Amino acid sequence: MPGAVFAAHGECNLAGKKIPDERGLLDEVYQEDDYTASWLARFTKRSYEDWWADIANGNILEFGVAEALEWGVIDEVLEGV
């Protein structure tokens, strides 16, 4: 739908498990942030680093249809019935 709003997030309560940052940017990252950014990068056009920057440490990324199309989150926009 043209007016849809999307949200992406990792570890929102900041109480989850932390793991070593294999990319060497930080000492540790929340495992859920890493998993979520990896999954989103695998199935969209955005990189792990882009997703991670937007969702890490409790951040919630809200975005609209234009971004969802550009980033490959959705394939098309359908009009209402």
- DSSP output for 8-41: EES-SSS-S-EEE-TTSSSSEEEHHHHHHHHHHH
Give the pLDDT of residue 80.
Answer: 72
Q: Per-residue confidence at 81, pLDDT binned at 50, 70, 90?
A: low
The first and second tokens of residue 9, run together, are: 């997030």
Beta bridge partners of 30: 18
Contact between 61 and 7 (Cβ < 8 Å)? yes
Q: What is the pLDDT of residues 20-72, one digit of tens each?
A: 888 777 788 899 999 999 999 999 999 999 999 999 989 999 999 999 999 99
pTM for the whole thing? 0.84
State the Cα–Cα distance between residues 41 and 49, nearest whole angstrom: 9
Q: pLDDT at position 12, please? A: 87
Taking residue 61's Cβ as centre, other Cβ atoms within 10 Å add up to 16
